[in-house]
Amino acid sequence: MNHLPVDDIARYTGATRVGSLAEGSISHLLIDSRKLLFPESTLFFAIRTDRGDGHLYVEDLYRKGVRHFVVEKIPELSTLPEASFYLTSDVVQVLQKLAATHRMQFDIPVIGITGSNGKTIVKEWLYHVLHAAKNIVRSPRSYNSQLGVPLSVWQLSPEHELGIFEAGVSKKGEMQNLNSIIRPTIGIMTNIGDAHSEGFDSLAQKLEEKCSFFEGADTVVYCKDHANIDQQLNAMLASGKIKQLLSWGKQPGANIRLCHTETKGVQTILHLEEKGVRTQFSIPFQDQAAIENAMHCYATARLLEIDQAFLKSLEDLPPLQMRLELKEGQQGCTLINDSYNADLTGVVSAIEFMALQQETKQRTVVLSAISGINGSPSAAYQQIARLLQLKGVRKLFAVGKAFSEHLHFFREAGMEVSFHEETAFLLKDPALLSLRNELVLIKGARKYGLEQISQRLESKNHQTRLEVDLSAIASNFNQFKETMGPDTKIMAMVKAFSYGAGSFEVANLLQFYHVDQIAVAYVDEGVELRKAGITVPIMVMNTELQGFQSLVDHNLEPELYSMEIIAALHAYLKAEGISFFPVHLKLDTGMHRLGLDVADCTVFLEKYAHAREFSIKSVFTHLVAAEDPASDDFTHQQLDRFEQMCGMIQAGLGYHFIRHAANTAASVRHPRAAYEMVRLGIGMYGIDTGKSGLLLQESVSLKTTIAQIRKVAKGESVGYGRKAIVERDSLIATIRIGYADGFPRTLGNGNGRVWIAGKTYPVIGNVCMDMTMIDITESSGIGLEEEVLIFGPVHSIVQVAKDAGTIPYEIMTGISQRVPRLYLSA
């Protein structure tokens, strides 16, 4: 563990120390107040972004024991007498300078990886191949940004023999910072492509920026088959910016020549030639991306002169998920599956993720023996025990012989501990199988096979699944937030089971990112969110008389859309003696569905302008066709009516309220409609109905698998009703999805297509209740259990909805509850 004397913070960074001058040392750097673990040795960086301001959390962290803060403005010192502040004009720069200074203390090989794709996989595979030979420190997950890199490098300690860090940039000029922090002695350039190109004028500019990361490196590993990379790196070699190149590839002149590959079952055998010597190794993958990633690892291991025994580990490269999986378990449990590695950094990261879940369930951890410990194993296990205690974990299932002598740390921390030397024994433990209404983190090294625990505890085994990319939702939400600016609030729509994606999981994510308000359709949905730990304000859109008590009991805010519901709620609140209950008033400006018209507003003000029972928190309307340019005149007519009615209401009430009219499409297409708040719905899931120009990511993927493949002769029929007669000898795949899962019958008989192994194939015959047939005659190599994408980022739900003759909203909300949801988080 690092110990930086606090006096050195100002000396290394140029910041000015203000407040307490007490001595001490720093071991932990913190940029997210919600991830506080060890307050007494933490330095907090109050970073300002378009999404928030770290200065707002200084007082709360002080109350929790933090005493050292890097800030751009000094708070009131009288309320924080023991705090030390390090004043600067750029908090992020101070973070980077500290990390860069820390890096200079270590004279060990450091591998720096950059490129458009594959950085995290290459890093994790390198760790898999090399960790038995070296004590390694590496970036947690995909910490490769201007903030993630300094936090990664800060982990370096004297016990480490090798560092492996990623570097990613989004615009020109960023890589110089990362180069000065990581200072790679060995570079790996994975590839160059269109991913994350928005901040560059051209691919050539992006390549030049990426390769500048390697300035000062001893050796750069790359694939010579990529001509533009080869040219750029050789130019740097000629100018003396790098010392030598180690290339691999099929091209003549590569230092390690990939002569050919062959496939055997699920394995690919790579045949190589190096300095006239032939060799080979195999990997458990067949795709070209995996071959490239494995070759980067092979070449780097040869450069490090690792014993040839490492070739055996290439045969067992893990199929990295790269993301935590949050899924529904049996008996009311929620599972977090991260059963692919168990080094100390990864364990801490997974526990932090668990702690961020707002579920009120008891917390349980299934943990294998920790791998790759640098220094004292006892200290590492003691740290994990303390962390689990701080995060409220009550039960621990420990697996692995190495765990046995450290179990006392966890028992002393008040946990109920079950220990098994092997996973096979844990699978038979009645205590594991009887878990009920608990949040269960499953974290382990791959060799322990803890994915078996996840499979045993999952609630549904239906192979059709809806994958929800929480990272993509967060990215989309934050893009809208930045576009709206800091003065415009955001209400997120999580009605209809969050458009099918899962209400709690999405609401919990949005709460993490400081959404201002969420909206649900019915009071029962709001009650469930409150019980699950959601604390942000919740508006209920369909207010019902019988739900008044639940509204009050669970602090839910009703939408009032008619004089009848207003009168009923007023009478209820008056009878209960409740004052100033927050409500939202809905106006009808042209939808003619729900809401008050001008005449209703007049009556409302006459009766309730001075009522104390409720207060109007917001007034809003629905726009009929905000996404349609042909209806823009009508949209502006609606906004004119809305502004007129709001002026009338405000004059009558005598106080201000929030106005909102913009849905996802209007939030960008009609800036006038933003007012004080916008309502985001399907846009959070990457469906851009208003052609916003934002770089939204589709966040929901519906997937299934192939149950059977059969040959059908020319003239034979397929499916119910003999609607499809094949006109040639055909190959037909039956997939495990039907209209009971939410796959519309209108996609039958060639109207719809699915995505398999990079190509689309048509639906043939009628869609059945639980199965659908696909014509794969034009395919090559598709097999049983092959994954089938119904819709997702590469096969857009927008096109699927068009093929079905409907809209994306209906497709998303129509996914059956029998289809399990799998939540992915980066």
Catalytically active residues, by annotation: 495, 720
Whole-number Å distance between alpha carbons of 406 and 425: 19
Instruction: Kindly list the distances between the CA atom of residue 717 and the CA atoms of 712, 714, 729, 766, 773, in Å, as whole numbers in the listed order.
Output: 8, 9, 11, 11, 11
Taken in order 651, 538, 594, 744, the sign of the CA dihedral is positive
Residues near 799 by beta carbon (within 8 Å), at least 6 away in sequence: 791
- How many helices and strands in the chain, by DSSP H and E? 27, 42
Q: Is 487 helix (H, G, I), strand (E, B) or coil?
A: coil
Helix axes 119-130, 288-303, angle to 10 degrees: 50
| Structure-block tokens of residue 415 | 């946990």
3-class secondary-structure state, position 680: strand
Residues 6+ apart with CB under 8 A from 610: none
- Find out whether 140 and 121 touch, Cβ atoms under 8 Å: no
Strand partners of residue 417:
396
Long-range own/partner contacts, residues 142-149 (CB < 8 A, 24 or more apart): 142/166, 142/168, 142/322, 142/826, 144/119, 144/120, 144/168, 146/92, 146/96, 146/174, 146/177, 146/178, 147/31, 147/47, 147/92, 147/95, 149/96, 149/99, 149/177, 149/178, 149/181, 149/182
**Rounded distance, CA 466 to CA 349, Å?**
25
Tokens at residue 523, please?
Answer: 């009071």
Cα–Cα dist 167/34, whole Å: 25
Containing 679, the helix (H) or strand (E) segment is strand 677-680
Strands 787-791 and 700-712: antiparallel
Candidates 775, 743, 772; CA nearest to 762 is 775
Q: Parallel, antiparallel, or unpaired: how do β-strands 162-166 and 110-114 relate?
A: parallel
